[in-house]
Structure formats: C-alpha cells, structure tokens
C-alpha cells in the first residue's frame, strides 16, 4: 500500500458566539473503523476563522500524505480553496479589487496543508442531519465553551 492509498474522511466545522466573539472548531476524522476527534477554540475570533482552523488542524494531524475526502459546511472555505486561492496567490494575496485578502494568514496555512494531500472537497449543508457534520458541530461548540472558560 502506498502512502496515498490511505483514504481518510474528515468532517470540519466552526462556531462562534458573536462574530467576533468566542469561537471554536471541531474535526471528526475516520480511517476505516478508526475515529479521532479534535477541537479547540479562541476567546476572540470570527466564524470564518474557526471554519478555517478546523480544516487546518484536521489536515495537520495526518502524519503522511493521504487521499482525503474533506466534508465542509462553509462555502467560504470551499470556494476559497477551490476557486479563489489561485487568483489570490497570483496577485500576492490581494483580491481582484486590489484589497488584502481577509484571513490571508490562515489561507496560507491551509494551502500548505492541502498541498500535502490529495483532497476531494465535499460541501454538506450544515445542521441538516449529516452525522459527521453534526459531530463536528458538537466538537466546535465544545471548543467555544473551553475558549470561554479559559478567557475567565
């Protein structure tokens, strides 16, 4: 079995209570029958940043190059990585109207992680019964709760 024969499914989600406000991210990884969950948070952030952190951390934990089916419920993340990023990179991380790309630090980190793997992007509608997305959402909200507690 080669390294890229390793097929991993990942569900990611971000949450924020207030935007900006305390936020969290959650990840569910499945490799065959093995599952791993991750979560974290930030006491002052935005929902988009937490959606991005979930993808970054989900990919970062993989120790070798894998085939990844990445389930996201964020159009911002999905379009950013499949449509917009190519132009941003060509323009030096500027939008088509010459403004700096918002969250460029995280787009760059995500791009580094994406380059390590073969990614199949799948958009899922959030809060619509997808079991993996529902679990990632619970983990993201756990991250919010921990971020709030740590900020006290």
Q: First-to-last CA distance in the chain?
A: 49
CB 33 within 8 Å of CB 86: no
> Domain range holding 24?
3-151
The pLDDT tens digits of the residues spanning 93-151 come to 999 999 999 999 999 999 999 999 999 999 999 989 999 999 999 999 999 999 998 87
Active site residue 132: no
Active site residue 5: no
CA distances for 133 relative to 30, 34, 71, 87, 127, angstroms: 12, 17, 8, 29, 7
Q: Which of 13, 39, 40, 42 is an active site residue?
A: 13
Instruction: Count how many domains the chain has.
Output: 1
Q: Mean pLDDT, to the nearest integer, of 49-54?
A: 98
Q: Which of 41, 117, 137, 143 is an active site residue?
A: 137
Q: What tokens were used for 118? A: 């073969």
| Long-range own/partner contacts, residues 83-89 (CB < 8 A, 24 or more apart) | 85/111
Q: Which of 9, 42, 51, 57 is an active site residue?
A: 51
Other CB atoms closer than 10 Å to residue 22's CB: what's the count? 23
């Amino acid at each position: 079995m080669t390294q890229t024969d390793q097929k991993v499914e990942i569900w990611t989600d971000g949450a924020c209570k207030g935007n900006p406000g305390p936020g969290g991210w959650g990840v569910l990884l499945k490799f065959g029958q093995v599952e791993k969950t991750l979560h974290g948070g930030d006491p002052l952030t935005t929902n988009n940043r937490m959606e991005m952190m979930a993808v970054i951390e989900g990919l970062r934990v993989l120790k070798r190059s894998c085939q990844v089916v990445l389930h996201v419920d964020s159009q911002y993340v999905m379009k950013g990585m499949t449509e917009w990023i190519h132009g941003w990179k060509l323009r030096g991380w500027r939008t088509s109207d010459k403004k700096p790309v918002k969250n460029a630090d995280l787009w760059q980190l995500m791009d580094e992680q994406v380059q390590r793997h073969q990614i199949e992007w799948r958009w899922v509608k959030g809060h619509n019964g997808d079991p993996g997305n529902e679990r990632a959402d619970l983990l993201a909200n756990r991250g919010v709760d921990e971020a709030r507690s740590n900020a006290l």
